Amino acid sequence: MKEKEYQRELRRLHGELVAMQEWVKDTGAKICVVFEGRDTAGKGGTIKAITERVSPRTFRVVALPAPTEREKSQMYLQRYVPHLPGAGDVVIFDRSWYNRAGVERVLGFCSDDQVKQFLSSVPGVERAIVDSGVILLKYWLEVGEAEQTRRLENRINDPRKVWKLSSLDLQSYSRWYDYSRARDEMFRSTDTAWAPWYVANTDDKKSGRLNIISHLLASVPYQPMKHRDVKLPKRQKSNGYHDPELPMRHIPTPFTPAG
């Protein structure tokens, strides 16, 4: 997709996201968006595109670190529950409780019995989430083998992106079909009528982001925001105020306005 076309459509969708935000605040709606997918599939970029023009007070991104020893002793889903949305919240999970069905399973961080228990219990938990009034949307971002290779090589060679490359990424890369099998079983067990999975192809990042944002907006019954006729008030008079003669510490200015 051409950059100009992408930016034009993204600008339009940003306006709709702001309208959705105002509807969420006014109605006390609760929205939870889960992003999962293969490594390099573009979860972070998509989340950034969604949250770029909205308020972080309404849109909250949750990306939990590895569990502590205490958290490992808890019920698996327990540490995610406090982050679920309350009234007027949009919570976006950058990876979620589905770590257990994906990376933890494939890389051996949990047992087969723990995976089976998770897959059997999570539909009921998600049913309870939805029954509490939460709009729950689950997205799986899918990228092809060749494109994943290209993106990982780009991370290796670009000093701006090297921080995105972890040892787990390299392990995951070598186990493409283990991830495919884990994904397939996850879909079979947790794709339900009340919390279905939506798959987005993101080989082209730009069109993938636009498609996801469009679907998100179509899945929320928000009302378009009415245009407000706002006029700036007159500023007060100076009433004798003068700029102070103080020793200001100005930053260096290696960059100056053109012209």
What is the distance, to the nearest Å, from the Cα of residue 193 to the centroid of all Cα atoms in its chain? 22
| Contact status, residue 24 vs residue 90, Cβ threshold 8 Å | yes
Assess whether pLDDT exceeds 70 at residue 259.
no
Residue 94: predicted pLDDT: 96
What's the mean pLDDT in 200-211? 97
Mean pLDDT of the chain: 94
Quote the tokens at residue 148: 């994943």
Which residue intervals of the chain are DSSP H helices?
3-27, 43-51, 69-72, 103-106, 112-131, 145-157, 167-173, 176-190, 205-218
pTM of the model: 0.90
Distance CA(47)–CA(51), nearest Å, equals: 6
Q: Which DSSP string do the residues of 154-190 spell out, in sequence order?
A: HHHH-TTTGGG--HHHHHHHTTHHHHHHHHHHHHHHH
The percent of residues above 70 in pLDDT, for the chain, comes to 100
Residue 166: predicted pLDDT: 81
Q: What is the pLDDT of residues 92-108, one digit of tens each?
A: 999 999 999 999 999 99
Tokens 């993106």 found at: 151
At residue 251, the 3 state secondary structure works out as coil
In sequence order, the 6+-apart residues with CB closer than 8 A to the CB of 103 are 109, 168, 172
Residue 167: predicted pLDDT: 79
Q: What is the pLDDT of residues 140-180, one digit of tens each?
A: 999 999 999 999 999 888 888 888 888 787 888 889 999 99
Q: How many CA atoms lie less than 13 Å away from 254 in the CB half-sphere?
A: 0
Largest CA distance in the chain: 77
The percent of residues above 90 in pLDDT, for the chain, comes to 81
Q: What is the pLDDT of residues 211-245, one digit of tens each?
A: 999 999 999 999 887 778 899 999 999 999 998 88
| Contact status, residue 138 vs residue 197, Cβ threshold 8 Å | yes
What's the mean pLDDT in 31-48? 96
Other Cβ atoms less than 10 A from the Cβ of 101: the count is 23
pLDDT confidence bin for 123, thresholds 50/70/90: very high
- Determine which helix (DSSP H) or strand (DSSP E) holds 35, and give its type and residue range: strand 30-37
Quote the tokens at residue 188: 């079979």
Q: Is 258 exposed, middle or buried (0-12, 13-18, 19+ CB in 10 A)?
A: exposed
Residue 223: predicted pLDDT: 87
At residue 19, the 3 state secondary structure works out as helix
User: Sign of the CA dihedral 176, 179, 184, 185?
Assistant: positive
